[in-house]
Amino acid sequence: MEAADERVTPLMAQYIEIKTANPDCLLFYRMGDFYEMFFEDAELASRALGIALTKRGKHKGADIPMAGVPVERANDYLQRLIAQGFRVAVCEQLEDPAEARKRGSKSVVKRDVIRLVTPGTITEEQLLDSRRNNWLLAVARARPSSAEAASFGLAWADISTGAFHVAEVGGGRLAAEVARLDPGEIVIADALYSDTDLAPFWREQRAVTPLGRDLFDAMTAERRLAGFFGIATADAFGVFSRLELTAAAAIAGYIERTQVGKRPPLAPPQREALGETMAIDAATRVNLELLRALSGTRQGSLITAIDRTVTAAGARLLADRLSSPLADSAAVNARLDAVAWVVADGDLRQALRRTLETAPDIERALARLALGRGGPRDLFALARGLTVAADLARTVAARAPPAEIAAATHDLAAPDPAVAAVIDAALADELPLLKRDGGFVRAGYDADLDGLRRLSEDSRRVIAETQARYAEETAVKSLKVRHNAQLGYVVEVAAQHGDKLLGPPFNATFMHRQTLAGALRFSTVELSELESKIATAAERARAIELAVFEQLVTRVLDQGDAIKAAARALAVLDVTTALATLAATEDWTRPVVDASLAFRISGGRHPVVEQALRRDGGPFVANDCDLSPPTPAGDAGRLWLITGPNMAGKSTFLRQNALIAVLAQIGAFVPAKSAHIGVVDRLFSRVGAADDLARGRSTFMVEMVETAAILNQAGPRALVILDEIGRGTATFDGLSIAWASLEHLHETNRCRTLFATHFHELTALSTRLKRLKNATVRVKEWHGEVIFLHEVAEGMADRSYGIQVAKLAGLPAAVVARAKVVLAELEKSDRGAPIHRLADDLPLFAALRPKAAEPASAAAPDPVAELLAALDPDDMTPKDALEALYRLKAAAAAT
């Protein structure tokens, strides 16, 4: 925007100057009771918010567009703008307009930007999701090279809670870490933003803000970070790499820039080392629906199924734990000990939850107060939260809790109890939202304030009391105290009593001001002072209240570190009791978690699907899974190759085992009769089909990219679940890819794997891959209809029942009938011939080579005879015999 010239009004010149200093933000320019926007900002805001676009004056011969929002509703509009990706500079009036008028009629009220509102730096309760952290993430790169070769420093902070973390990762982990944090905003250097290799990745993120290189200067990073915290050196926080310091300093600098002199109560940065948590890439998070369902909503996700927290801080902590399962068995078992302790005492659990339900969100209240955006209700929330914390500490301390609960109990009692007592004594029962509204200090707390309130709120009574006293002192019962526009408050008496007040001793108190027909008027020093007090009482009362507010805030901030510790302890206790409640009500069991490669689940259930079925009145069929090494000393886990029809529950079975591992490693009980989980360091899931047309990737290309990531990264401690690899291309291409991938997982990755497929030919690999086990999802046919039993058992499926599933889906009867005919013809043909020919050249297909070559003219084998020859009547149960009879009948019908 151009600089102001002589034709621009002083007000518009001021606007243009401030807007020029904030070119990347919409400027909320305070004018009385409105935030106004002009020029292009007004046009953008009008479209984004659906508000009227008007005009104000002219600039260079053209009308100046104008749009505005009321100050009282500014947060509502800010929320909508931030959600659409805008940044907003809030420009406030810094003086009373009356002061500006004293400088001349054309003087402009002093204004300046007091904060920049961006997606990662909001603190207002109305703008935030109370149940998740709002991370601001800074990314620094070691050198301008390819994404895979580079190293990245990450720093992430939530200024609404004070949490602050740093880490260094390789290029291959960048996307996974960003997906784990799901930040509200990412800040990066201009050079990194313009990197051609990473440009597509940055475009995928919600809000990316490129910044000048000064904020990412590695040479000055340590000094700038230390300056932000007001200490001599950042060494006091521990040992950080140069990349971590660079990212942390960028976070600090960006917060200083956006908060304009205000500093949130950030904790010192805590370093997260690689390997502390289970690595889960972005695709796996989407596939497993940890925090959001595939639809993008919270409903249907794992977090919705397990969240029993009763506080906002507890909900945020649970979401963080679910995003970052632990990879240290000792830490996991410490959490499990805490949950088990609460599970064992139902009365304690209920008592703790009743108390926790009354705990406000003191983390975010503290942050708002520190940034000057808090109000009386935030002070009340802190007092109430500290009281709840102290009550919980007393309840728990008497019961010999395990280590994690004992540590939380210590922190609950850390704040000075006098803080809550002082706030309770100072605040009234009914509190306004904003401190400027006044009326929040309790009557009796400050004598001067009480007196001013009496003057301001009950001036008539005060005047009446003064009049009665004067009448009694002078013995003039008709004496009146009146207010005159010119004289102010005066004492008025009838003419016959005037001489009495004009003479001693009353003339020392009553000064004659005016004589009227039949009456005389007098003033007194007391009335003059009373008038002055009444005129300024409301303003002075507000000033005293604001002073009381600031005193209370100072008292709170002095206890900031202890309050943050108590807030974290409340969250820990809430998550622990929530997981215990979940275990008790859902019949979940404590898993065994250790450093082995075990993965043995008995009676496992899908936590989300089971609850959905229960709501619909149906049962969930539990299943076992054992991916442990074949021998206790084995150095690699099993692979299960799972066949069976669609709709039979293969994907549910795959996902439920992955989710059980996640739940176990966040320290939760799991939906199973028993579970033994050797710590999973990396979790990979390739389930379902999706394309990425924006990046030019077909469904099959996305499938191959995700499969490549698994095969290139999975190690022996990983857990891999794969579904339908190779189905997105031609049959034999897909079969070859699936075959080779299965061999690679067995021989090279050596990880615990669930591999579901419709390529029944792969089951032959079990004869030469020693850790591969065939499993199938059982079904039953009844009068031509397929019945899904949802049971996973050892063995292999003989077919996929695709036509039956198509019939269930509602395909026209003619299409289903024709498909049956075509299938019967195909089954008569020698469909295995191409594989037999490949087997001559490719050893990997040797297992499918026929035992003996058949003449080209030989008749097709009789499927009924083959089935009969395969039966062993002496080794069949009645149930097996019945199922065999159904298969024979189906084969006979097909021929």
For residue 779, the SS3 value is strand
Name beta bridge partners: 490: 482
Residue 219 is labelled as binding a ligand? no
C-alpha to C-alpha distance for 471 and 457, rounded to whole angstroms: 24
- 655 C-beta neighbours (distance < 10 Å), count: 24
Type of residue numbered 405:
I
Consecutive H or E run containing 835: helix 833-841
585: number of CA atoms within 13 Å, CB side?
A: 14
For residue 879, the SS3 value is helix
Residue 774 is labelled as binding a ligand? no
Measure the N-to-C terminal CA separation of the chain; round to a whole number of Å: 82
Residue 157 is labelled as binding a ligand? no
Rg (CA), the chain: 38
C-alpha to C-alpha distance for 313 and 412, rounded to whole angstroms: 14
C-alpha to C-alpha distance for 263 and 560, rounded to whole angstroms: 13
Instruction: List Cβ neighbours of 666 (8 Å cut-off, separation of 6 or more).
Output: 321, 322, 325, 326, 332, 335
Tokens of 356: 């926790």
C-alpha to C-alpha distance for 649 and 797, rounded to whole angstroms: 13
Cis peptide before 607 (omega within 30 of 0): no
637: number of CA atoms within 13 Å, CB side?
A: 28
Residue 648 is labelled as binding a ligand? yes
Angle at 536 between CA 533 and CA 537, to 5 degrees: 70
Q: How many angstroms separate the most distant Cα atoms in the chain?
A: 146
Residue 647 is labelled as binding a ligand? yes
Residue 287 is labelled as binding a ligand? no
Residue closest to 315 by CA, chosen among 578, 608, 661, 607: 578
CA–CA distances in Å: residue 334 to residues 598, 664, 679? 20, 12, 14
C-alpha to C-alpha distance for 524 and 516, rounded to whole angstroms: 18
Residue 644 is labelled as binding a ligand? yes
- Tally the residues of the chain: 895
How far is C-alpha 72 from the geometric centre of its chain's CA atoms? 27
Contact criterion met (CB below 8 Å) for 673 and 605: no
Consecutive H or E run containing 703: helix 699-713
DSSP 683: E
**Dihedral over Cα of 275, 281, 287, 289: its sign:** positive
Contact criterion met (CB below 8 Å) for 152 and 137: no
Residue 19 is labelled as binding a ligand? no
Which residue shows structure tokens 């669609």? 646
> In b/e form, how buried is each residue of 690-699, taking b as 16+ CB within 10 angstroms?
eeeeeeeeeb
Which residue shows structure tokens 């007000």? 11
C-alpha to C-alpha distance for 647 and 650, rounded to whole angstroms: 8
SS (H, E, C) 73-105: HHHHHHHHHHHCCCCEEEEEECCCHHHHHHCCC
- 267 C-beta neighbours (distance < 10 Å), count: 18
Residue closest to 375 by CA, chosen among 440, 442, 445: 440
Backbone dihedral angles phi then psi of residue 104, each to the nearest 5 degrees: 135, 155
C-alpha to C-alpha distance for 264 and 162, rounded to whole angstroms: 7
Type of residue numbered 265:
P
Tokens of 634: 């084995």
Contact criterion met (CB below 8 Å) for 728 and 734: yes
Residue closest to 155 by CA, chosen among 265, 69, 243: 243
Binding residues: 644-651
Binding residues for ATP: 644-651
